[in-house]
Structure 1
Amino acid sequence: MTDEVDKELLNEFYQELADLIGLENAYKLHETYRGLSYTFPMRLYDPKKVAQKIVAEYNGENASELARRYGYSMRWVLEVLRKERERKHKD
């Protein structure tokens, strides 16, 4: 179907999208989501899933490394670890 699409006539948004991910994928997005408004999250990773991963990967000394790896602040990572300690203490 994309062989029928004249890329030069595309809306600027779809031109940029086609340049980024290819015309076929831009067309698929258009067909699936046209007319809808989406806001993409600032963070790539889901905070709940990252929190679980941080708890699993924390070795007692690598909080700053985990913060950098997953794009969260050191404060947030320490809060995740504090909540996990409290949860374990209650059990």
Structure 2
Amino acid sequence: MGMPEPQLQMPRSCISCHHYRHEGYDQDKHCPFSRSSASAPKPTRTPYGRCGLHGAEVFATEICNSHEPEPFVHLVDVTNRPEPRTAIQERLL
């Protein structure tokens, strides 16, 4: 018996999707990240990138119905953002 294939644990959001390409970090009033310590300021920047499927800029923490996870990633359900970086029209087909 061989060693089990290690799995990367990531949120079920754009950052773990095959269509997502990272571009940078931007100010975000809904930044979901917690402080590194009690005395540290609350983070205000969230990673963002481009969704190749929808052709739109998205925050890495967004969730859509077209999510296609990268192979060998164990997905963890997360709560969606109150609003997207850019409005996206989901495909109905």
TM-score tier, shorter chain, comes to under 0.3
Greater helix proportion: 1
Larger radius of gyration: 1
Q: Which has the higher strand share?
A: 2
Question: TM-score with structure 2 length normalisation?
Answer: 0.22
The TM-score, its normalising length taken from structure 1, stands at 0.22
More RCO (CA 8 Å, sep 6+): 2
